[in-house]
A = this chain, B = another copy of it.
Amino acid sequence: MPTRLSNYFLRTLREDPSDAEVASHRLLVRAGYIRRQAPGVFAWLPLGLRVKAKIEKIVRDEMERAGAHEVHFPALLPREPYEVTGRWEEYGDALFRLQDRKGADYLLAPTHEEVFTLLVKDLYSSYKDLPLSIYQIQDKYRDEARPRAGLLRGREFTMKDAYSFDYTDAGLDASYRAQRDAYERIFTRLGLEYVIVKADAGAMGGSKSEEFLHPTPVGEDTFVRSAGGYAANVEAFTTIVPEAIPFDGLPEASVFDSPNTPTIATLVDLANANHPRPDREWTAADTLKNVVLALVHPDGRRELVIVGLPGDRDVDLKRVEVAVAPADVEAATEADFLAHPSLVKGYIGPWSPTGAVLGEESATGIRYLVDPRIVDGTEWITGANVDQKHVFGLVAGRDFTADGTIEAAEVRAGDPAPDGSGPVELARGMEIGHVFQLGRKYAEALGLKVLDENGKLVTVTMGSYGIGVTRILAIIAELGNDDKGLIWPASVAPFDVHVVATGRDAAVFEAAESIVATLESNGLEVLFDDRPKVSPGVKFGDAELIGVPKIVIAGRGVADGVVEVWDRATGERTPVAIDEVLSALR
């Protein structure tokens, strides 16, 4: 039976929703696919459910092909397993927490590593049971600080999450590869261009992780790639550590007056005008900038750290967040400075004529972490921890020592890829999938072990693999639209064909009915605009808004045995004999 617009539960809207920031959100609401219930929480209307089901079918097909078994966990889970792994705390405000009538703690799961691990622990005990990959397609929850962009970042969203279980590292590699391959097939079938980039594992922990990014200038993630094939998101990019330089012959450091140097540029000018080594032109890259940050640990503890990096680079807070996870990071406040009077704003450095030295010998009790480029023997212009004084020619390893290194500096086009494959360029993308080698973190925390061939208990090694189904739907809508409405690819369109009967001539409606019947009996899914009193203009407008890729228009031409086939993407309309509509559509 065709779906008839005369009685379908659908109302297209003329007005954009006032809270819509992006095209997918705007158009999915206007075309009657979704409807907002609360910030980041949507109801699915019939058209939206159809597209979602098609994406899920493709994902399910490829999961089965990859040998994964489908299960389904509840969204409501008890606190205990997440307590054991520390994520009850680590998720912070992003976790929806609640209590039942007895006061027991529950959460709405943002991801399910813990309970999948416990399920396998419950049922499996031998290496013979492995490898195992299980997955679910399920609604997840995350209390985003700023739910926005419609389905692109919702607070309730549908995910496919898969988990693999192996007892050897080679087994994990193979399971990981099977999921990764399945992801490539899924995105190919969805018609979604993708780049696989090295990723930081973030709150997941674990050793190896890759993201599938759809490259697009409007993407929210920045990644880097080299001509030689390196690709990583900026959080995962690692700096090549230069060789250390011998100290021999490096001149002594010297303090100089530096009033009125509010910027790195003014400091560099002053240094070049005024320093004791006129043979060399000093640049911002020769200054050592020291930035005070505050880490907020999962237990609520607030810790100041100072990050030293070359003055020509800014701190990239997203990179710092990854480096210090599970702590959160924020800029130091006025109160922080007041609490640490030895921090002289604008003149902070790792060494001081007054003895307030950062680093291992720190007088401030604050950890000092430096960019990996600050290797032994490098010379720096930096603050002297005294108001209006800087120091020149301060040598790392000789004059100061840091407490450690940190990847805190921004990545720039032209930076060398860590694998030696040449300079990187920066690009933007949207995350469409993520594969992790979790390793033994969860299995260890929750005690998942099996007996190996020798009867010895070994801890299982795991992978975790996620695709945001509703997010992908939004991304596809984001890619396929114009000022008239949505343009779906055939693989996920809510219908294969949208047949429009125009005018009031009964013969036209009869011809349209017969075309619809022919298409349906040949296995095509048809949306039939059979509304008797709606003008052709409104019908065409709705067809463009809804975005079914092929539209068949039955109008006056029916008298001559002709209809039009309208390609939604190109806008091209082609007259086709009624008998040939089916073949024209194929």
Contact yes or no, B73 A75, CB < 8 A? no
Measured CB to CB, the nearest residue on chain B to A100 is B143
B-contact bits for A18-56, CB 8 A (1 contact / 0 none): 000000000000001001011001111110010000000
Least CB distance, A168 to chain B, in whole angstroms? 17
Q: Which B residues are CB-close (under 8 A) to A72?
A: 43-44, 49
Measured CB to CB, the nearest residue on chain B to A132 is B9
A122 proximal to B (CB < 8 A): yes
B-contact bits for A291-305, CB 8 A (1 contact / 0 none): 000000000000000
Q: Which of A37, A69, A76, A143 has the most CB of B within 10 A?
A: A76
Measured CB to CB, the nearest residue on chain B to A122 is B35
A505 proximal to B (CB < 8 A): no
A71 proximal to B (CB < 8 A): yes
Least CB distance, A135 to chain B, in whole angstroms? 10
Interface segment, one of A90-98, A266-274, A401-409, A477-485: A90-98
Contact yes or no, A71 B44, CB < 8 A? yes
Contact yes or no, B9 A71, CB < 8 A? yes
B-contact bits for A430-456, CB 8 A (1 contact / 0 none): 000000000000000000000000000
Contact yes or no, A73 B9, CB < 8 A? no
Tell me which of B38, B69, B104, B132 contacts A106 (CB under 8 A): B38
- Residues of A209-250 whose CB lies within 8 A of B: none
B-contact bits for A118-141, CB 8 A (1 contact / 0 none): 010011100000001010000101
Give Cα A376 to B470, complex, Å: 66
A77 proximal to B (CB < 8 A): yes
Give Cα A134 to B38, complex, Å: 21
Q: Which B residues are CB-close (under 8 A) to A115?
A: 37, 43
Tell me which of B70, B100, B139 contacts A75 (CB under 8 A): B139
- Residues of A50-95 whose CB lies within 8 A of B: 67, 69-78, 93-94
Task: Given A35-B122, A69-B8, answer yes or no on A75-B77 (Cβ-Cβ < 8 Å).
Answer: no
Least CB distance, A571 to chain B, in whole angstroms? 29
State the interface size on chain A (CB cutoff 8 A).
Answer: 49
Task: Given A98-B97, A98-B98, A143-B101, answer yes or no on A74-B41 (Cβ-Cβ < 8 Å).
Answer: yes
Contact yes or no, B74 A42, CB < 8 A? yes
Tell me which of B44, B71, B94 contacts A45 (CB under 8 A): B71
A11 proximal to B (CB < 8 A): yes
Least CB distance, A55 to chain B, in whole angstroms? 14
A182 proximal to B (CB < 8 A): no
Task: Given A35-B122, A123-B11, A132-B9, answer yes or no on A75-B45 (Cβ-Cβ < 8 Å).
Answer: no
A200 proximal to B (CB < 8 A): no
A145 proximal to B (CB < 8 A): yes
Q: Which B residues are CB-close (under 8 A) to A35?
A: 119, 122-123
Give Cα A45 to B132, complex, Å: 14
A371 proximal to B (CB < 8 A): no
A108 proximal to B (CB < 8 A): yes
Give Cα A69 to B43, complex, Å: 14
Q: Which B residues are CB-close (under 8 A) to A286?
A: none
A180 proximal to B (CB < 8 A): no
A161 proximal to B (CB < 8 A): no
Q: Which B residues are CB-close (under 8 A) to A11?
A: 123-124
Give Cα A366 to B98, complex, Å: 39
A156 proximal to B (CB < 8 A): yes
A155 proximal to B (CB < 8 A): yes
Q: Which B residues are CB-close (under 8 A) to A69?
A: 8-9, 46
Give Cα A163 to B158, complex, Å: 24
Least CB distance, A35 to chain B, in whole angstroms? 6
Contact yes or no, B46 A71, CB < 8 A? yes
Q: Which B residues are CB-close (under 8 A) to A9?
A: 69, 71, 132, 134
Contact yes or no, B71 A38, CB < 8 A? no
Least CB distance, A73 to chain B, in whole angstroms? 5
Measured CB to CB, the nearest residue on chain B to A8 is B69
Q: Which B residues are CB-close (under 8 A) to A67?
A: 7
Task: Given A9-B134, A35-B122, answer yes or no on A43-B73 (Cβ-Cβ < 8 Å).
Answer: yes
Least CB distance, A1 to chain B, in whole angstroms? 8
Measured CB to CB, the nearest residue on chain B to A32 is B123
Contact yes or no, B139 A78, CB < 8 A? no
Contact yes or no, A43 B74, CB < 8 A? yes
Give Cα A151 to B75, complex, Å: 16
Task: Given A49-B71, A76-B38, A115-B43, answer yes or no on A100-B96 (Cβ-Cβ < 8 Å).
Answer: yes
The chain A residues found within 8 Å of chain B, CB to CB, are 7-9, 11, 32, 35, 37-38, 41-46, 49, 67, 69-78, 93-94, 96-98, 100-101, 104, 106, 108, 115, 119, 122-124, 132, 134, 139, 141, 143, 145, 155-156
Q: What would be 30 A-B contacts, judged by CB atoms less than 8 Å apart?
A: A7-B67, A9-B69, A9-B71, A11-B123, A11-B124, A32-B123, A35-B122, A37-B73, A37-B74, A38-B77, A38-B106, A41-B76, A41-B78, A43-B72, A44-B73, A45-B71, A46-B69, A46-B70, A49-B70, A49-B71, A74-B139, A75-B139, A76-B96, A76-B141, A76-B156, A93-B101, A96-B98, A96-B100, A98-B108, A108-B108
Contacts A43-B73, A74-B139 known; 19 new A-B pairs at CB < 8 A: A9-B132, A11-B124, A35-B122, A37-B115, A38-B77, A38-B104, A41-B78, A43-B71, A44-B71, A44-B72, A46-B71, A49-B71, A74-B156, A75-B156, A76-B96, A96-B100, A100-B143, A101-B145, A139-B139
